Structure 1
């Protein structure tokens, strides 16, 4: 998942990346997930690659 953000002159993010932003991006990509399935240990406040976990249900409801 790639999330674009605006940067300041020194490369700092103008806004943090939260599980809500990740959830919205994944939904826009067409995946049916719940926000509670996304595990993000802490908000992302710098550029880079960060691992996140998405817990998939064994028996998803229809």
Structure 2
């Protein structure tokens, strides 16, 4: 795993705002929940941006 990047199957380590690295969308996640697909660019799905089309793609970054 890259430093501070999470994929959609990871458990949220701390509640807060996370940045979708590919598109810049921010979303709030609660600690203990699983990260979701980005609703803007669909990262983590076959329809996601190039390099972010699988569940294994790490793209959520904690920003506070």
Pair in the same fold by TM > 0.5: no
Q: Which has the higher helix share?
A: 1
Whose Rg is larger? Answer: 1
**Greater strand proportion:** 2
Larger RCO (CA within 8 A; separation ≥ 6): 2
TM-score (norm 2): 0.27
